[in-house]
Structure 1
Amino acid sequence: MTLLGAEDEGEDRRSLHERIAADLRDEIMSGDLGPGASLPSTAQLKDRFAASNATVQKALHLLKDERLVIGRPGASVTVREHRQRTMRPAAYMAPAASGEPYRWLSEVSGSGARARSALLDVAEEVPPADVAAALRLQPGGLALLRRQLLSIDDEPAELVASYYPLEIARGTALAGRRRIPGGTPTLLAELGYPPGRSVDRVSARVATQEQYRSLRLPGDLPVLRTLRLVLSDRDLPIEATVMVKAGHLYELEYTFVPG
């Protein structure tokens, strides 16, 4: 067995074009290369990274596939106007007013984008272990699953799987195979379970096969996975939702008040 020496520790084993794309991606996501900005020319990138023309072009192709930049042969490559969206979960946690759409849809639409939700599945299933623990289910216990895909400007944005205790969901509109006006927070409040305290657990993951296909991911980039537990009065768990979005296209913003 060969052991890595100290000189090998921390070595970046990615191909050069992947390393170039990683550095440029970071500059785009941090705002150093803002929306509409032109990337350095091919000649400048060749000098900066000591790379061939073909290698630079492969790096740019990756960024195009990731929907971070746009460009065509013979023209400059520019950062897309919506290179990365900031999502503010607290803005759409509260129940919507009567007759109003789900707050996620209205918040996104308010930014000038087209937002849409598509219901993919409604079923009673054994949820993932972390979801089951959050809902305080017995081992092998079932929950009602509502799975949907949220889109922005006709591009998949977020894969959402929401689970509900059967004693709350059975026989209600939650179990129906249609969208719920105002979203589930509104319905839960009407059913006598007003959403109260929420807890988010956010992690970076490698996409599953379903997530890869549904979100049309271009490569082996991480996704952001949020497990949100919603509690009602007396800290009763009423909803546990797994939300997955492309990590290179979205960021989450939370505001905290010392207390």
Structure 2
Amino acid sequence: MAPETDPPFRRIAADLRRRITTGELAPGARVPSNRRLAQDWGVALATATKALTVLRSEGLVEARPRVGTVVAAVPASPAAVPASPPRPASAEGELSRERLIAAALEIADAEGLAALSMRAVAARLGAAPMSAYRYVTSKDELVLLAADAAFGEAGYPADPPAGWRPRLELGARTLWSLFRRHPWLAELGSVTRPLLLPNLLTHAEWALAALDGRGLPAATVLDIHVLLYSYIEGLAANLEREARAQAATGLTGDQWTDTRFATFDTRAAATRFPVFTRLTAELGEGYDLDLDTLFESGLTTLLDGLAPRIDGLAPRIDGHA
């Protein structure tokens, strides 16, 4: 245990270090989040984050996307842990906008957008809380910069595939992979208030170019793009919700569903909800809801429905068609 005279973050780190090295927290086990540590120890969120940063620099813990901070697969032995952990390599003098964005991405990916703050980013980099403001003006700006960086992680070939459908399919799957990697992106905005981020516009340009030159009114082209993007973003929003629910309850989606059906009165439901009761009974072992499979199925259905309109075979039913 760390002496009571040690700073709070060192005492928190020492307690967690003891629990890890004694096996109380096994490899792969989730470590209390910075918010939970802040509550349990009565300290600021930045203090708790700093304690986890110390353990991360020692190799005892690691951030795992959409899970949080977990005990490293091969934790260091007690003898290998330095008595006075060195200051992280990212000292205040080495701060840059790029390092802030990278840290913001790590926090948002591991703990969700709610955990991202200027103080948390500074603490992760071992810098003074206010020093981050020399490079970005606010948390909102940092979030947008991190989002733009995330959307820029995947691009498109110089020679697009032939036909509007293969091009839209590639664009949709590319966006889905980015939302998969960074589920918090689906929380950023709405289609009525679009984010004009350069790298996000790259994805929009790819989709719009697939529809351009087909004789469609401009409003129709934009409608189709918004519809397709809304489908991807709307489905992706469930990735973040599931991650938050699993972190809060400790149950996977299947486990949570099992607990609900264990108390579900099927006899009463059979009268009031006959179709639902019959379908769930026919499934036997349950409904395997896989978002990746659902994404592909929905994409096919959506594009099948749009094909007559894009190919000019649909009847004119409104001012856009």
* TM-score over 0.5 (shorter chain): no
TM-score where L is the length of structure 2? 0.24
Bigger Cα Rg: 2
Greater share of residues in helix:
2
Q: Looking at both structures, which has the greater relative contact order when contacts are Cα pairs under 8 Å and sequence separation is at least 6?
A: 1
TM-score where L is the length of structure 1? 0.29
